[in-house]
C-alpha cells in the first residue's frame, strides 16, 4: 500500500468500509428476517396449496413482478423497465470486474450499452409518478425520493463518464481489480469517475438500511411464502411445539 496517492488511499479505505457495511448490514437484515418467529399460518388467500405452487408464484414474482403487475400496471411499467435496464447496466460493468473478459461478455457489450443508457428514463418516470399523482405524493417519504434521486445521479454520472468526459477505462479496471484482489493500486484522478464512485459507495452503505432490501425481503414475506394448506395440515407454532 506504500505507493498510493492520498486520493487513492482515501478511496481504497472508503471502498472496503462500504463493502463491509453493505455485506454485513445485508446479512444482518436477512438473518433477522430468517430467525423471526412465524407463529401463525397467514398466507393471503387464495394462495397455492402446494410448496411447488408457492415456488412457481415466487419465481414469477421475481422475473416478472407478477403481484405488482396485477396491482398497478402504471407502477409496474416503470419498475419493471428499471430492473431490466439494471441487468444491462450490470453486464456493462461486469467486464470491469472480471479478468480475462469472457468472449461472450465482450460480444454483447454494444447491445447492453443500447439498453443500459436508458436507465434515467424509468427513474424520471417513477419520480414524476410520486410527485404528480396526488395519492402517491401523499404517502411518499423523503426516503422514497432519496433513493430514486441517488440512483438517478449515479446513472447520470455514469453516462457522463461514457459520453461527456471519457476516462481512462484501463486505469479504472486496474484499480477495481486491485480492490478485488486485496492489492490496491492508484485510481485514475478523473473528476467524473470520483463523483460516480462516491455516489455508488453512498448507495452501497445506505442499501442495507433502505427499502432496497426488498431484493432479499421478497423471500421472507410470510403472507406470500406460506403454503395455503391449513385444513390439510395443522400449522404448529415452532416454539409451542417444544
Partner 1 sequence: MKRPAATAAALLALLAAPLFYAGCGNAKAPAPQLTKPTNATECVEPAATMRANHMNLLRHERDNIVREGDRSRKYRIEGCAQCHTKRAEFCDRCHDYAGVKPECFDCHYLP
Give the nearer residue to partner 1 in terms of CB position, either 130 or 173: 173
Residues that bind partner 1 (CB under 8 A): 23, 27, 30-31, 33-35, 95-101, 105-107, 109-110, 166-171, 173-175, 177-178, 180-183, 185, 190, 220
Q: Cβ of residue 95: shortest distance to partner 1, in angstroms?
A: 4
Q: Cβ of residue 225: shortest distance to partner 1, in angstroms?
A: 9
Give the nearer residue to partner 1 in terms of CB position, either 108 or 124: 108
Q: Which residue has the cell 484522478?
A: 189
Total number of residues shown for the chain: 242
Give the nearer residue to partner 1 in terms of CB position, either 56 or 215: 215
**First and final CA of the chain: distance in angstroms?**
54
Q: Cβ of residue 130: shortest distance to partner 1, in angstroms?
A: 31
Candidates 87, 83, 84, 109; CA nearest to 96 is 109
Give the nearer residue to partner 1 in terms of CB position, either 79 or 158: 158
Q: Cβ of residue 168: shortest distance to partner 1, in angstroms?
A: 4
Give the nearer residue to partner 1 in terms of CB position, either 14 or 101: 101
Q: Cβ of residue 99: shortest distance to partner 1, in angstroms?
A: 5
Amino acid at each position: 500500500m506504500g505507493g498510493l496517492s492520498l486520493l487513492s488511499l482515501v478511496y481504497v479505505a472508503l471502498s472496503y468500509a462500504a463493502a463491509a457495511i453493505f455485506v454485513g448490514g445485508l446479512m444482518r437484515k436477512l438473518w433477522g428476517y430468517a430467525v423471526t418467529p412465524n407463529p401463525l399460518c397467514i398466507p393471503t388467500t387464495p394462495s397455492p396449496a402446494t410448496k411447488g405452487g408457492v415456488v412457481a408464484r415466487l419465481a414469477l414474482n421475481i422475473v416478472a413482478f407478477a403481484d405488482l403487475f396485477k396491482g398497478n400496471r402504471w407502477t409496474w411499467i416503470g419498475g419493471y423497465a428499471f430492473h431490466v435496464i439494471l441487468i444491462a447496466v450490470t453486464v456493462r460493468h461486469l467486464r470491469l470486474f472480471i479478468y480475462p473478459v469472457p468472449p461472450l461478455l465482450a460480444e454483447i457489450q454494444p447491445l447492453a450499452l443500447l439498453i443500459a443508457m436508458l436507465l434515467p428514463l424509468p427513474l424520471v418516470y417513477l419520480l414524476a409518478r410520486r410527485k404528480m399523482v396526488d395519492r402517491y405524493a401523499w404517502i411518499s417519504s423523503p426516503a422514497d425520493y432519496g433513493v430514486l434521486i441517488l440512483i438517478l445521479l449515479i446513472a447520470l454520472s455514469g453516462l457522463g463518464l461514457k459520453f461527456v468526459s471519457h476516462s481512462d477505462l484501463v486505469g479504472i479496471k486496474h484499480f477495481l481489480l486491485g480492490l478485488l484482489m486485496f492489492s490496491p493500486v492508484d485510481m485514475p484522478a478523473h473528476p467524473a469517475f470520483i463523483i460516480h464512485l462516491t455516489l455508488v459507495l453512498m448507495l452501497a452503505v445506505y442499501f442495507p438500511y433502505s427499502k432496497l432490501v426488498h431484493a432479499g425481503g421478497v423471500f421472507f414475506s410470510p403472507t406470500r411464502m406460506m403454503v395455503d394448506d391449513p385444513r390439510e395440515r395443522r400449522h404448529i407454532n415452532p416454539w409451542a411445539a417444544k
